[in-house]
Chains A and B, each alone.
Chain A
Amino acid sequence: MRYPQPDTHSKESKAQALEQIGTLAREHGITLDEIGAHLTRVSLKDKSSTWLTRLLGYVGAVFVFGGLALYMAMIWDDLNSGARVIITFGPGIVAFMMGIITLKDERFKAASTPLFLKASILQPLGMFVFLDEYSEGDDTQLAALIVFGILAVQYSLSFLGFRRTSLLFFGYIFYNAFAGILMDRCEVDEDVFGVGMSLSVLMVAWSIDRSIHKPIAAFWYFIGGLGLIWSVYDIVDHSPSDIVLLPVSIFMMWVSVRMHSRTLLLVGTFGLLGFLTYYTDEYFKDVTGWPIALMLMGLLLIGISYTAVQLSHKIKRDTALLPPEG
């Protein structure tokens, strides 16, 4: 026996469905934009969940960007100063504004990050072209200080307004570029520069890690941790105080556990392995016990890697138990 199927495309049923949607929207305070965004998301999920579609999308974007760069290079010599600025800075500022506009519409929010990425490359390029074409003097460092300072302010203010992680990421890159050039210009000693900048990055990474922008914290932990170990190594290399590398590496591993950061643990572990390699090479290479030292170092490496894995599991467990933070 066959039951009659409801005609889902008839005018009456559509009107009934819209009536129901309207009632539900009023009850739950849902706006038209939110309904549109939800339908777009579902539609996009159905259509582009395959990796091939995504890959082709990225490759297409690279081609567009590459084409723009190639076009600029081809016609560069024929352009006057104003046109050169417009062709570089123009697409950058447009991409940035489009990125901001997409943030206002739930349906296109995902497009904001690639737009900000494009803007973060083209805007500084355009500003450097502007300074090259219109300013006098050959102080490139001052030009870079001005460009990165302006961009740091622009991206930071936008981040404060829209709370988007990608804006924070690019804003912090520009801030670091500005601060690094400023430190160099103020004749900050390079050892102090290295340690100071690394500690600064680690502190900011720690703050980011405790916020909803957590996904970018690992990158900054890596930069800060690597920078700290490298800078300390540069200071104590081939000096009697080179043993300092050992407590620094162990301290970093301890901090990684406290901060629940497996990235920092990785850097600390490599720092410790590097220290052991350096130390045996520096002090035990030419003694008859070198083969024994090598074997001891091998055992130590196995021990350290085992401890690192244990710590990594502990961090993973602890992180899973942590309540979500806003």
Chain B
Amino acid sequence: MKGFLKEHFVLIAGLALPLFLSAVFFFSANFPMNAIDPPRYAAVFVHEYYYRNNPDYPYKVDINEKGYAEFHYYPVTDEKLRNWNLPAVYLYEPKKRKVRRIELPKIPDFKSEATLPIADLEGVKINTSKTSPDGFTFVQDYKGSGNIMTHLFGGGYSGGYRYFFVKESHRFPIEFETSPFYGNGDLIGWVVDEDTP
């Protein structure tokens, strides 16, 4: 056995290397040795928000002076309206470590401007600071452009936009039920009222 291992060391190492890397990344992702506590504050963020800075984009999610979320609609022509996607608003719930889709209010009249409260976030006070009170920031990155080896050998399937809460180089991934492939999101704010989820 020892002779076999010595004689075929390179072959065994070559075959074992992908399995070893898989094991290392699997354990580091599922059993993180984080020396810090996970985020304690809920966060509201928007997904599929590519065109938020485009002056023709008719939708906007923001926070009013009192600290509550609002959904704005600015009228555009029917042709333009068809081209724009509604943003997808999510609430991250730290106790469950999951996200919940927030339903946006229906726009009563597409011909006129509207500012509508978001029923699912009624009474939820939001702080628009970039950093949460416990020191986390909201970060997104894109995984999946891949390289020749990922394309040849089946990688890149789980590609897409990913969101994290980051503090001192520790990353806490935000888990979705199904991975959002298309995206580009933005943080709306942190839920500072501790009575809310």
Q: Is A266 an interface residue (CB 8 A)?
A: no
- Given the known interface contacts A187-B158, A203-B17, A207-B8, the answer about A227 and B148 at a Cβ–Cβ threshold of 8 Å is yes
Most buried by A among B18, B19, B158: B18
Shortest CB-to-CB span from B87 to chain A, Å, is 25
A141 near B15 with CB under 8 A, answer no
Q: Which residues of B contact A144 (CB under 8 A)?
A: 154, 157
Q: Contacts of A199 on B, CB cut-off 8 Å?
A: 14, 17
Contact with B along A126-158 (1 / 0, CB 8 A): 000000000000001100100010000000000
Size class of the A contact interface (CB-based, 8 Å): 35 or more
A306 to B27, CA, bound (A): 49
Nearest-neighbor residue (CB-CB) of A228 within chain B: B149
Query: Which B146-162 residues have C-beta < 8 A from chain A?
Result: 146-150, 152-158
On whether A200 and B150 interact (CB within 8 A), knowing A184-B158, A187-B25, A192-B21, the answer reads no
Interface residues of B in 2-36 (CB under 8 A from A): 8, 10-11, 13-15, 17-19, 21-23, 25-26, 29
A197 within 8 A of B: yes
Q: Does B98 contact A (CB under 8 A)?
A: no
Say yes or no: A190-B143 contact (C-beta < 8 A), given A203-B17, A207-B11, A227-B148. Answer: yes
Given contacts A140-B157, A203-B13, A223-B152, contact A196 B8 (CB under 8 A): no
Contact with B along A206-244 (1 / 0, CB 8 A): 110000000000000001001100110010000000000
Could you tell me the distance in whole angstroms from the C-beta of B115 to the nearest C-beta in chain A? 39
**Range of interface residues on B (Cβ < 8 Å):** 20 to 34
**Mostly helix, strand, loop or mixed at chain B's interface?**
helix
Residues of B within 8 A of A187 (CB): 25-26, 29, 158
Contacts A184-B155, A203-B13 given; indicate if A179 touches B19 (C-beta within 8 A). yes
Known: A186-B23, A188-B21. A200 touches B155 (CB 8 A): no
Distance of A197 from chain B, by nearest CB (Å): 4
Determine the main DSSP class of A at the interface with B: helix
* A206 and B10 in contact, given A186-B25, A190-B150 (Cβ under 8 angstroms): yes
Contact among A191, A197, A204, A206 with B153 in the assembled complex (CB-CB below 8 Å): A197
Chain B residue with Cβ nearest A202: B14
Cα(A43)–Cα(B152), bound, Å = 42
Q: A204, B21: Cβ atoms under 8 Å?
A: no
**Would you call A99 an interface residue if the criterion is a C-beta within 8 Å of the partner chain's C-beta atoms?**
no
- For window 139-197 of B, CB contacts with A under 8 Å fall at 143-150, 152-158
Q: Is A176 an interface residue (CB 8 A)?
A: yes
B21 to chain A, nearest CB (A): 5
User: How far apart are B126's CB and chain A's nearest CB, in angstroms?
Assistant: 31
Not counting A183-B155, A198-B149, A227-B149, a sample of 15 additional A-B residue pairs whose C-beta atoms are within 8 angstroms of each other reads A141-B158, A177-B154, A180-B150, A180-B154, A184-B150, A190-B146, A191-B147, A194-B148, A194-B149, A196-B17, A201-B14, A202-B14, A203-B11, A207-B10, A234-B147
9 contacts between A and B (CB under 8 A): A186-B26, A187-B25, A190-B145, A199-B14, A199-B17, A201-B14, A203-B13, A203-B14, A207-B8
